[in-house]
Amino acid sequence: AQRVTQPEKLLSVFKGAPVELKCNYSYSGSPELFWYVQYSRQRLQLLLRHISRESIKGFTADLNKGETSFHLKKPFAQEEDSAMYYCALRRSPGTYKYIFGTGTRLKVLA
The residues binding other proteins (CB under 8 A) are 4, 6, 32, 43-46, 49, 51, 86, 88, 93-103
Nearer to other proteins, 78 or 102 (CB): 102
Nearer to other proteins, 49 or 74 (CB): 49
Please state, in angstroms and rounded to a whole number, the distance separating the CA atoms of residues 109 and 25: 29
Nearer to other proteins, 30 or 45 (CB): 45
Please state, in angstroms and rounded to a whole number, the distance separating the CA atoms of residues 51 and 80: 25
User: What sign does the CA torsion over 104, 20, 53, 59 have?
Assistant: positive
